[in-house]
């Protein structure tokens, strides 16, 4: 659904109108000091409506009530903007709450299956979920493979494959299994699930102001205090000149001088920025993460599952030395019988495809060695003492040499040939002998080169990290179009490159989906985990891409830049507005006593009272006029910072000066008939 339709949904607008009135409570208003000053001005003016002679006031009843009403509408418009932004998040949260329901879970207790409510499940419980059943809680698949409908979370109707092992084992409570059966280990207690966190975040219950927002708010409050001091002391100087300044006029001056426009829209801009990220199916854990994404200088991308599809499949067995491809396949299959990774299963599938045979009974009493990022190998130790290893070529070479073996002369040329073609070679060895290579193929996701070109235009450097050898990494990097790559990288290498970039004063983003990506995701300024990834990756990140599309980082960066630009543009527009108000109110206040100030009435406003009311009305109506821009955000196009600054100064700086002159004059043409 488009932003505009969601923003102006009738139910959301009606609720926002109610909230705008409720938010007039001074306890709520004091959280926004700028608008609280306006509310105090409204209450003082309202008091003068009923006590017209208080404070030595001599202005008419009509002027008092007009100022009071205009200030009231200024408050309501500002509250409406914030309530509208909050309402969109609450509407989305309500739809998510419909997804959250009581589910009956099949919990494994020993060998028995016991039906229990999903609310009784705790971390570590194991449940069985069959075709047509809902997954009762967040967890990871520990046995089996199934297609899962995640449309309730992601909005995408296409099912996703979830399987034990690898980086695609994470499942979310509230999603439905549509084929086969899986066993799931629950990883969250009730109230702490992914869906619970998502509901809490999108409805704004835990929204905190970002550092930039706090800094800007401090500047705006400081300006408000300065103008407050000026207006409070102004009557003393006026008395010296025998000029009487009425309280409603002083209040009007104060309200027009303080940055009410940005003060009324600042909170709405921040909430809408979070909402725009959510619209792209990215769950941001904080506004700080969204804001930081707008200042990103470097992006670290994990290759497997991020730049490429990540489904590296065995496509051939390449023999080395005097061995045959059947021998390579035989030992590769034995090392893969208990290997639950997609690559391991693909080896067995290739054996079937090639009609090669092997004897699983050979490893029956053997000890399986799982793949580790540190060793970059897996394998099995047989009962008779033989050791089979499968893994990265250089790792297997070192292992064989440590066993006293020799490296076949044609190993490196064959390995380089596979890597040059963009594949991944895995060496297969038994004790001191290398039998050959497994040719794994992976594919770069379409459109990645164009995405990286866009990042380059934004001034963002892209670095690909992969465990592949340098030749494979270089081929993939060239095909994808990244700026740099790190081959044969371990988890600590990713952290090291992030820290190196951060030490140079750069903000770094990292995308990943595996458990080994978790430390780097936590170290990065902006960590984006794929929803299809592991629980560890999602817990370490501060953003989660529900569509598991790593190219989504483009939209996230654009939204971050758009949030910063929108805040800056509307602040510039708000402050520039004051120039026109000076020429409207200052001459109106002193013109009778100092006729020479008529020269400042360049808009030729009808009378002092019409000038003040026109400036006040413009100050109020500009807030609802700018609400759509605050919600949608300033349009962002990839360009340099200097170009962006020039464009925004021209549009919102110069525009902020010109528009109020025209607006106040136009309003004065109508106000003069009754002011």
Task: Find how far residue 172's CA is from the centre of its chain.
Answer: 19
| pLDDT of the residue at 14 | 85
pTM attached to this predicted model: 0.65
392 lies in the same domain as 456: no
158 lies in the same domain as 86: no
Q: Is 372 annotated as a binding residue?
A: yes
486 lies in the same domain as 538: yes
The per-residue DSSP string of 626-650 comes to: HHHHHHH-----S--HHHHHHHHII
Quote the number of domains for the chain.
4
Q: Is 377 annotated as a binding residue?
A: yes
Res 510 pLDDT > 50:
yes
Burial of 1 (0-12, 13-18, 19+ CB in 10 A): exposed
Burial of 622 (0-12, 13-18, 19+ CB in 10 A): buried
620 lies in the same domain as 494: no
Q: Is 506 annotated as a binding residue?
A: no
Tokens of 298: 């470097």
- The CATH number that applies at residue 463 is 3.40.50.1000
Between CA 467 and CA 304 the distance in angstroms is: 9
pLDDT in tens, 599-639: 777 778 788 888 888 889 999 999 999 988 888 888 777 66
Res 157 pLDDT > 60:
no
343 lies in the same domain as 421: yes
pLDDT in tens, 659-669: 988 998 899 88
51 lies in the same domain as 132: no
Mean pLDDT of the chain: 83
Structural domain of residue 419, as residue ranges? 313-443
Domain closes at, from 443, 463, 489: 443
| pLDDT of the residue at 154 | 61
Between CA 176 and CA 150 the distance in angstroms is: 7
640 lies in the same domain as 659: yes
Between CA 606 and CA 340 the distance in angstroms is: 83
493 lies in the same domain as 580: no
Residue 258 lies in a domain: yes
| pLDDT of the residue at 1 | 38
Q: Is 504 annotated as a binding residue?
A: no
| pLDDT of the residue at 403 | 85
Residue 114 lies in a domain: no
Per-residue DSSP letter, 134: B
Q: Is 373 annotated as a binding residue?
A: yes
Residue 116 lies in a domain: no
Region 197-221 average pLDDT? 69
462 lies in the same domain as 539: yes
Res 243 pLDDT > 80:
no
Between CA 80 and CA 623 the distance in angstroms is: 10
Region 138-144 average pLDDT? 86
pLDDT in tens, 2-11: 444 444 567 7
pLDDT in tens, 527-577: 888 877 777 788 888 888 877 776 677 778 888 888 888 888 888 898 888
Residue 108 lies in a domain: no
Q: Kindly report the backbone phi and psi dihedral angles of residue 249, in degrees, each rounded to the nearest multiple of 5, phi listed first.
A: -70, -40
| pLDDT of the residue at 96 | 58
Domain closes at, from 163, 188, 213: 188
Query: Using an 8 Å Cβ cutoff, are 253 and 585 in contact?
Result: yes
Spatial neighbors of 104 by CB under 8 A, at least 6 apart, are: 115, 116, 117, 118, 136
Region 76-80 average pLDDT? 92
Residue 592 lies in a domain: yes
Q: Is 441 annotated as a binding residue?
A: no
Q: Is 99 annotated as a binding residue?
A: no
pLDDT in tens, 333-382: 999 988 877 788 889 999 999 999 988 888 888 899 888 777 889 999 99
pLDDT in tens, 275-296: 777 777 787 777 778 888 888 8
Q: Find the helix or strand (DSSP H, E) in which 50 lies.
A: helix 33-50
Residue 244 lies in a domain: yes
449 lies in the same domain as 428: no
Tokens of 331: 């030992």
In the chain, what is the straight-line distance between the N-terminal and C-terminal CA atoms, in Å? 45
Catalytic residues: 302
331 lies in the same domain as 272: no
- The CATH number that applies at residue 177 is 2.70.150.10
Nearest 5°: CA angle at 231, between 225 and 232?
85
pLDDT-based confidence at residue 69 (cuts at 50, 70, 90) = very high
434 lies in the same domain as 488: no
pLDDT-based confidence at residue 390 (cuts at 50, 70, 90) = very high
pLDDT-based confidence at residue 330 (cuts at 50, 70, 90) = very high
Query: Using an 8 Å Cβ cutoff, are 67 and 252 in contact?
Result: yes
Residue 55 lies in a domain: yes
Residue 675 lies in a domain: no
- The CATH number that applies at residue 426 is 3.40.1110.10
Domain closes at, from 418, 443, 468: 443
Secondary structure class of 661 (helix, strand, coil): helix
pLDDT in tens, 463-474: 988 877 788 788
């Amino acid at each position: 659904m488009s932003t505009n339709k969601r923003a102006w949904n009738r139910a959301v607008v009606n609720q926002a109108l109610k909230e705008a009135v409720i938010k007039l409570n001074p306890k709520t208003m004091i959280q926004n000091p700028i608008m609280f000053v306006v509310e105090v001005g409204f209450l003082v003016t309202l008091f003068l409506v009923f006590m017209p002679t208080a404070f030595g006031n001599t202005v008419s009843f009509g002027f008092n009530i007009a100022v009071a009403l205009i200030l009231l509408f200024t408050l309501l418009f500002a509250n409406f903007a914030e309530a509208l932004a909050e309402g969109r998040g609450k509407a989305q949260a309500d739809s998510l709450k419909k997804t959250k329901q009581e589910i009956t879970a099949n919990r494994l207790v020993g060998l028995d299956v016991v039906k229990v409510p999903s609310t009784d499940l705790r971390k570590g419980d194991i449940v069985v979920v069959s075709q047509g059943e809902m997954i009762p809680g967040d967890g990871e698949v520990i046995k089996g493979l199934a297609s899962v409908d995640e449309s309730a979370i992601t909005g995408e109707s296409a099912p996703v494959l979830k399987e034990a092992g690898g980086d695609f084992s994470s499942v979310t409570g509230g999603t439905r299994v549509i084929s086969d059966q899986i066993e799931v280990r629950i990883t969250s207690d009730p109230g702490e699930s992914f869906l619970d966190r998502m509901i809490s975040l999108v409805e704004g219950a835990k929204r905190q102001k970002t550092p930039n927002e706090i800094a800007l708010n401090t500047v705006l409050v400081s300006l408000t205090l300065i103008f407050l001091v000026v207006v409070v002391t102004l009557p003393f100087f006026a008395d010296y000149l025998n000029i009487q300044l009425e309280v409603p006029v002083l209040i009007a001056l104060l309200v027009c001088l303080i940055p009410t426009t940005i003060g009324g829209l600042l909170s709405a801009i921040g909430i809408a920025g979070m909402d725009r990220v959510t619209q792209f199916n990215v769950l941001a854990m904080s506004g700080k993460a969204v804001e930081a994404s707008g200042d990103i200088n470097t992006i670290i991308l994990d290759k497997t599952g991020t730049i490429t599809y990540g489904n590296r499949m065995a496509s051939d067995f390449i023999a080395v030395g005097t061995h045959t491809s059947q021998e390579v396949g035989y030992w590769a299959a034995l090392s893969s019988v208990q290997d639950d990774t997609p690559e391991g299963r693909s080896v067995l599938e290739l054996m079937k495809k090639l009609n090669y045979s092997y004897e699983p009974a050979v490893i029956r009493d053997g000890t399986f060695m799982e793949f580790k990022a540190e060793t970059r190998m897996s394998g099995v130790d047989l009962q008779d003492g033989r050791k089979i290893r499968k893994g990265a070529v250089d790792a297997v070479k070192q292992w064989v040499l440590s066993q006293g073996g020799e490296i076949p002369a044609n190993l490196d040329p064959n390995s380089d040939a596979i890597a040059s073609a963009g594949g991944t070679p895995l060496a297969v060895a038994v004790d001191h002998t290398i039998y050959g290579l497994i040719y794994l193929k992976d594919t770069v996701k379409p459109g990645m080169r164009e995405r990286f070109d866009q990042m380059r235009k934004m001034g963002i450097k892209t670095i690909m990290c992969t465990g592949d050898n340098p030749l494979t990494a270089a081929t993939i990097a060239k095909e994808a179009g990244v700026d740099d790559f790190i081959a044969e990288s371990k988890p600590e290498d990713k952290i090291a490159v992030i820290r190196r970039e951060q030490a140079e004063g750069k903000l770094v983003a990292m995308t990943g989906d595996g458990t080994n990506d978790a430390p780097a995701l936590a170290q990065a300024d902006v960590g984006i985990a794929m929803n299809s990834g592991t629980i560890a990756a999602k817990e370490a990140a501060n953003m989660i891409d529900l569509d598991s599309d790593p190219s989504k980082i483009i939209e996230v960066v654009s939204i971050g830049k758009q949030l910063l630009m929108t805040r800056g543009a509307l602040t510039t527009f708000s402050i520039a507005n004051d120039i026109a108000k000076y020429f409207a109110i200052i001459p109106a206040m002193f013109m009778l006593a100092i006729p020479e100030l008529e020269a400042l009435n360049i808009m030729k406003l009808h009378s002092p009272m019409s000038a003040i009311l026109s400036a006040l009305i413009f100050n109020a109506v500009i807030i609802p006029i700018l609400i759509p821009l605050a919600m949608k955000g300033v349009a962002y196009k990839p360009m340099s910072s200097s170009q962006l600054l020039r464009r925004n100064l021209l549009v919102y700086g110069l525009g902020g000066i010109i528009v109020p002159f025209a607006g106040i004059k136009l309003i004065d043409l109508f106000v003069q008939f009754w002011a």
